[in-house]
Amino acid sequence: CHLIHYLRLSHHLIVLNYLICTFDKLKDVSSEDIKITDAVFDGVEVRVFEPPAKGDESLKRSIVYIHGGGWALASARTSLYNNLCRIMAESLNAVVVSVEYRLVPEVCFPEQYHDALRATKHFLQPDVLAEYSVDPSRIAISGDSAGGNLAAAVCQQLSKEEDLAVRPKLQALIYPVLQAFDFNTPSYQQNMNMPVLPRSVMIHYWIDYFNGNYDLAHELLVNNHTALNVGRALSFRARLNWTSLLPASFKKNYKPVVQSTGTAAIVEQLPALLDVRAVPLLADDATLARQPRTYVLTCENDVLRDDGAMYAKRLQHAGVPVTLDHFHDCFHGCMIFTVWPTDFSAGVQTRNSYIKWLDENL
């Protein structure tokens, strides 16, 4: 049974990787002469997108972008993300820094997080911002899926560092993955077999990110790792109680899956399951209250829909201005699929809404 499960997951990842490599052969899309350079920020590779200077204009706004792919796939250099960042740079007349963090299996948590944090902190230095003609008061941190996870974690850490001269004005999270506490939220139940990101594949990504054993997959799936007898998990339970954090339209008729007796050893084997650097939704209220104005994009046909919705609600409760941008007919990963032969209307719709929010708020 475990072998069959592993083979199915491996096949899914092989297909995803094949699609990414295939799309990488597509031409870049841009109508402007965006300058693209590769650089190294504090040991981390980045790709910088700079729009052309326009006469006597003042300093530009900027976005630090962290790509998705389950901490294991894709790249700042693939056509899919190259196109997205070029269009962002052009549409917003902004400098976009796309972070090329290291991937599973080369490294596991917390290295991806450290890469994203180091690159971002390097860029936020006043002399580096001056080099790229960036306005220090108009910087956003953003990312999609696993990149949204890293963006949220980086923002939380930056908010705790008292000696920073420059802080992000905004964070923009696109269908972010934010918790590994409950794999039976309504969206996980509703979309458990949804293409692109089935529940079993998301659990597989988490296990790989934490360098864990696939034998734990079933126990995670039924929430044995956060059962009522797992003492280390108890204090976090209220922070993602979806019965109070989600709107009725999301909850529908789904019931919580809470085991009375589970396996405490799972958290001992994978302590990162309860590490806020990996699971930003578990952050305390004081940390959330320090976050910048936030945009969260969610899709109905996505196991991660409720992660984003719960984070938005908790930020609102903490006093942070939040825009929850929900798309009823869209699916996980759709924003990067905007180039033929995958020029989906869902991709264009979500991308345009995201860029519009950045344009109005950054």
In this prediction, residue 49 carries a pLDDT of: 98
Residues 13, 134, single domain; the answer is yes
**In-domain check, residue 161:** yes
**In-domain check, residue 55:** yes
- With H, G, I as helix, E, B as strand and everything else as coil, classify residue 320: coil
Q: What are the DSSP calls for 227-296, one per residue?
A: -TT-HHHHTTGGGG-HHHHS-HHHHTT------SS--THHHHH-GGGG-TTT-GGG--HHHHHTPPEEEE
**In-domain check, residue 275:** no
Q: What pTM value is reported for the model?
A: 0.93
Residues 112, 223, single domain; the answer is no
In this prediction, residue 26 carries a pLDDT of: 47
Instruction: Measure the CA–CA gap between 335 and 83, rounded to whole angstroms.
Output: 11
211 Rama class: left (phi>0) / alpha (psi -120 to 50) / beta = left
Give the residue from 289, 287, 284, 292 showing the smallest Cα distance to 323.
Answer: 292
In this prediction, residue 29 carries a pLDDT of: 53
Residues 120, 77, single domain; the answer is yes
Question: Active site residue: 62, 79, 145, 200, which one?
Answer: 145
DSSP code, position 31:
S
Residues 159, 215, single domain; the answer is no
Is 332 catalytic? The answer is yes
Residues 147, 3, single domain; the answer is yes
Evaluate the CA torsion angle 313, 314, 318, 321 in order and state its sign: negative
pLDDT in tens, the chain (362 residues): 444 444 445 445 544 554 555 444 444 454 568 999 999 999 999 999 999 987 667 899 999 999 999 999 999 999 999 999 999 999 999 999 999 999 999 999 999 999 999 999 999 999 999 999 999 999 999 999 999 999 999 999 999 999 999 999 999 999 999 999 999 999 999 999 998 999 999 999 999 999 999 999 999 999 999 999 999 999 999 999 999 999 999 999 999 999 999 999 999 999 999 999 999 999 999 999 999 999 999 999 999 999 999 999 999 999 999 999 999 999 999 998 777 566 778 889 999 999 999 999 99
Question: Active site residue: 302, 306, 307, 325, which one?
Answer: 302
**In-domain check, residue 97:** yes
Residues 161, 221, single domain; the answer is no
Instruction: Measure the CA–CA gap between 233 and 90, rounded to whole angstroms.
Output: 45
* Residue 253, burial from CB neighbour count under 10 angstroms (0-12, 13-18, 19+): exposed
What the block records as the tokens of 345 is: 């209307």
**In-domain check, residue 61:** yes
Query: Which residue range(s) make up the domain with 200?
Result: 186-269
Tell me, what CATH number does 146's domain have? 3.40.50.1820
Q: Which of 225, 245, 269 is the endpoint of a domain?
A: 269
- In total, how many domains does the chain have? 2
Residues 112, 11, single domain; the answer is yes
Is 5 catalytic? The answer is no
Q: Which of 219, 242, 269 is the endpoint of a domain?
A: 269
CA atoms within 13 A on the CB side of 245: 24
Q: Which of 269, 295, 322 is the endpoint of a domain?
A: 269
In this prediction, residue 344 carries a pLDDT of: 77
Residues 124, 49, single domain; the answer is yes
Q: Sheet holding 293-301: strands in order across?
A: 35-41, 44-50, 94-100, 60-66, 134-144, 170-174, 293-301, 322-331
Instruction: Measure the CA–CA gap between 227 and 43, rounded to whole angstroms.
Output: 40
**In-domain check, residue 277:** no
Residues 157, 28, single domain; the answer is yes
Listed in sequence order, the residues at least 6 apart from 228 whose beta carbon sits closer than 8 Å to its beta carbon are: 234, 258, 259, 260, 261, 262
In this prediction, residue 32 carries a pLDDT of: 64
Residues 110, 218, single domain; the answer is no
**In-domain check, residue 276:** no
Angle between helices 79-92 and 345-361 (to 10 degrees): 40
First to last CA, the chain: 50
Is 145 catalytic? The answer is yes
In this prediction, residue 224 carries a pLDDT of: 98
| Cβ atoms of 324 and 56 closer than 8 Å | no
Residues 175, 203, single domain; the answer is no
Angle between helices 79-92 and 2-23 (to 10 degrees): 50
**In-domain check, residue 278:** no
Q: What share of the chain is helix, strand, coil (3-state, %, to 5)?
A: 45, 15, 40
Residues 164, 228, single domain; the answer is no
Give the residue from 146, 139, 137, 208 showing the smallest Cα distance to 177.
Answer: 146
